[in-house]
Amino acid sequence: MRDIPSSESGTPAEGALQFELTDFSDARRALDEPPAGLEVARQLRPPNWDSRRRPPLPTDHAMGGRAVDWILSLPIDIRPLKLADTVPRIANELAEHWPDADRAAAFVSDLLIDRRGGRRGFSAEIKKELGVLHHTLRQIRSENRAS
């Protein structure tokens, strides 16, 4: 057995590894028992939402005809072109919800507000487009209530 190099003061030399003497039962117990606080740390981690998502559909990757018609029906300055290009699945769903302003507003609100925690979020440009759509829906809803 080799000695660990030490300085003249009896402490290990700089860069030398220090070891703590232990027996196998202590080492095994340390491996078998999780460290204190590990379970609390696991609970703090955001949940994995992949297992809760619906299976992918063909329309998730391309805009449907209804979504194209919906976007073309909107005034040019509020068309969510970046959203449609980047996340066609959401454009398809928005087109489905749009005739019902309350339902569409709730859908857009859920996209803008992270109620689950841990979402990656949208780019600033898409957030802006969603904000404009949400504002437009609020106007439509208030006009509907006034009439």
Task: Say if CB 67 and CB 88 are below 8 A apart.
Answer: yes
- Total structural domains in the chain? 1
Kindly state whether residue 28 falls inside one of the protein's structural domains: no
Contact 134, 109 (CB under 8 A): yes
Q: pLDDT tens-digit profile of 26-65?
A: 877 777 777 777 777 667 666 666 677 778 877 778 899 9
Over residues 10-35, mean pLDDT: 75
Residue 129 lies in a domain: yes
Is 89 or 49 the better-scoring residue by pLDDT? 89
Domain contains 136: yes
Residue 27 domain flag: no
β partners of residue 12? 6
Residue 46 lies in a domain: no
Residue numbers of the domain that contains 132: 55-146
110: phi then psi, degrees, rounded to nearest 5: -65, -30
Question: Mean of the per-residue pLDDT values for the chain?
Answer: 82
Q: Confirm whether 4 is domain-assigned.
A: no
